[in-house]
Amino acid sequence: MKLADRLRSALASAPGLPALAGDLPELRGGATIAAAVLVAITERPEPGVLLTVRHEGLRTHAGQIAFAGGRIDPGEDAATAALREAREELGIVPASVDVAGTIEDYRTVTGYSITPVVAVVPPDQPLTLHEPEVSDCFEPPLSFVLDPVNHLRRSALLHGRERHYYEIPWQGRRIWGATAAIIVNLSRRLQWS
């Protein structure tokens, strides 16, 4: 079975564990900004997931690891927005992407409600980084990031309260926050080895 078909089948089923809803559960009822990210999985014998490193000069989330993505513009759906952002940030041609579906939205502390769009991209997709936004791109193995053993639960003080988040360390890189939470949600949805 093709990877995209496997993903579609897994995404169509209910997750075994509840999804993480967001960073500040007490603010779920407030206004949010709709956004989408592309969870780009490479079609390889050992699939990987494309992650970006945000440029150090950015006003927010500088240097953090993220999926390609951003706001959903008027008239766009989540998949269209995620594909547009992946083209802008990484040069991924939308026609080369096989969208498998979406997983649960994730709400960030900054007020975004992010829809993760799961898709398969060719294994050696030429990438062109949009340097004002993206300083690097890397591809950890999908099996590694999905393995719950690698989902480390951490805590920190935020707004005077202890908050819990996930971190996934990989080869000296720190995948954490919303990006790690989306990966945890994907892991809960896919549940394959």
**Structural domain boundaries of the chain?**
3-190
Rounded to whole angstroms, the Cα distance separating 129 from 86 reads: 10
pLDDT score at 115:
96
Q: What DSSP state is assigned to residue 141?
A: B
Other beta carbons less than 10 A from residue 136's beta carbon: 13
Tokens of 8: 């579609």
Please tell me whether residue 149 adopts helix, strand or coil conformation: helix
CA distances from 21 to 15, 108, 185 (A): 13, 9, 9
Per-residue pLDDT of the chain (193 residues), as tens digits, is 689 999 998 888 766 778 887 765 555 556 689 999 999 999 999 999 999 997 765 455 555 899 999 999 999 999 999 999 999 999 999 999 999 999 999 998 888 899 999 999 998 888 998 878 888 999 999 999 999 999 999 888 877 778 888 999 999 999 998 999 999 999 998 875 4
pLDDT score at 100:
96
Q: Which CATH class is domain 3-190?
A: alpha beta
pLDDT score at 111:
85
What pTM was estimated for this model as a whole? 0.91
- Helix axes of 177-190 and 3-12: crossing angle, nearest 10 degrees: 90
Cβ-Cβ contacts under 8 Å for 174 (sequence gap 6 or more): 65, 167
